[in-house]
Amino acid sequence: MNGDDKLWRNPAWRPAQSYSHTLASISHHFLGDRDTPPEDDKALEVQRVPVLVAGNPLDALQPGTVIDGLTWELNLPLYRVGPGTRWEAYGARSITDIELGETRFIVVFAQASPAGVRQIYTLLKPLERSPTVGLGVLFSGESDSDLVSRSRKRLAEGVSRFLGLSFVDFGHVAAPGPELSILLAQIAGEIHDSWATAP
């Protein structure tokens, strides 16, 4: 665990994890008997999923909350692509921190603000005209619906027009809780789909 990972750890993610665990524990009523998420087993094949972080003010939802919660969701039996795999989300500050040859999906976590949009654009510029991996963006920050809407629209137009890229818009969340759990479940499903459908 590096220094950034330690800084990103935050106990505030635990309500989201608890909510996901509750969903997993009752899923057998609808999906049949399934195992619990696999334990940390070094013998399992590890699939690493980067979370590209574009700024994180201390008074906002922290990247560690998203990273830990996403790791939990990715390992739930509901989404598991196959046995023998352990999923691990990790933080990245730039494209150079990501093993592009080993990943099929990048989650971008950023603040819904003009500065946040500029940061995302700058971080994604190395991928210009070469959409080799799937992209998804989760915005955080203040729950200002107009600001969030403008940020999402501005980013979509900018990366499409100038970088030739597109992304899955995962919306906006301001704090840990059920809403974050639902969004992380959606992201986990998208990631698993990208691995399952890859050639």
Mean pLDDT of 31-55: 67
Question: Comparing C-alpha atoms, which of 57, 185, 50 is closest to residue 111?
Answer: 57
CA distance 164 to 130: 8
CA distance 171 to 165: 18
Residue 18 has pLDDT above 70, yes or no: no
Which superfamily, per CATH, for 45-197?
A: Flavodoxin domain (3.40.50.360)
pLDDT tens-digit series, residues 154-198: 999 999 999 998 899 999 998 888 999 999 999 999 998 887 776
Strand order in the sheet with 45-54: 85-92, 45-54, 105-111, 134-140, 168-172
Domain ranges for the chain: 45-197
pLDDT tens-digit series, residues 77-131: 765 555 677 899 999 999 999 988 888 899 999 888 898 899 999 999 998 877 6
Report the pLDDT value the prediction gives residue 136, as an integer from 0 to 100.
93
Q: What is the value of pTM for the model shown?
A: 0.74
